[in-house]
Amino acid sequence: MKKKGILNSSIASVLAKLGHTDTIVIADCGLPIPDVVKRIDISLTLGNPTFIETLAAVIDDMEIEKITLASEIKKYNANVHNEITKLLPNVEKTYVDHEQFKQLTKNAKAVIRTGEITPYANIILHAGVIF
């Protein structure tokens, strides 16, 4: 049995296969997920697990070089935006409109769907390197 890190085998597998600049998405329960992208649905009930607790777990197990967010998060979900900033204070942030964000998800290796029910609680994580 795995001793540390992500226990979810689908998430652990995706993280282990990431190369530099590959992307994954952590999403609220409403983000449309393209059929061509691996869907890892960890939603249990409305609000569970949360976007932030999922993001925190992934951050502990992934080298992140950059993130992409929908610009609307600043206005419509300031609390989650602030939490993201606290969790990733020194990571480059790029903002795009929500429609462009949805288009960018088509290039992700996977989308992790949480039970989050607040607007624009979605993030694209760009893999860095550990050396």
pLDDT tens per residue, range 17-60 = 999 999 999 999 999 999 999 999 999 999 999 999 999 999 99
Domains of the chain: 9-127 (3.40.1650.10)
In this prediction, what percent of the chain has a pLDDT beyond 90? 97
pLDDT in tens, 100-120: 999 999 999 999 999 999 999
In this prediction, what percent of the chain has a pLDDT beyond 70? 100
- Residue 121 in marked binding region: yes
- Residue 98 in marked binding region: yes
Give me the active site residues, please: 20
- Residue 78 in marked binding region: no
- Residue 95 in marked binding region: no
Q: What is the pTM of this model?
A: 0.97
Q: How many Cβ atoms from other residues are within 10 Å of residue 27's Cβ?
A: 26
Q: Is residue 2 scored above 90 in pLDDT?
A: no
> Which DSSP string do the residues of 45-56 spell out, in sequence order?
BTTBS-HHHHHH
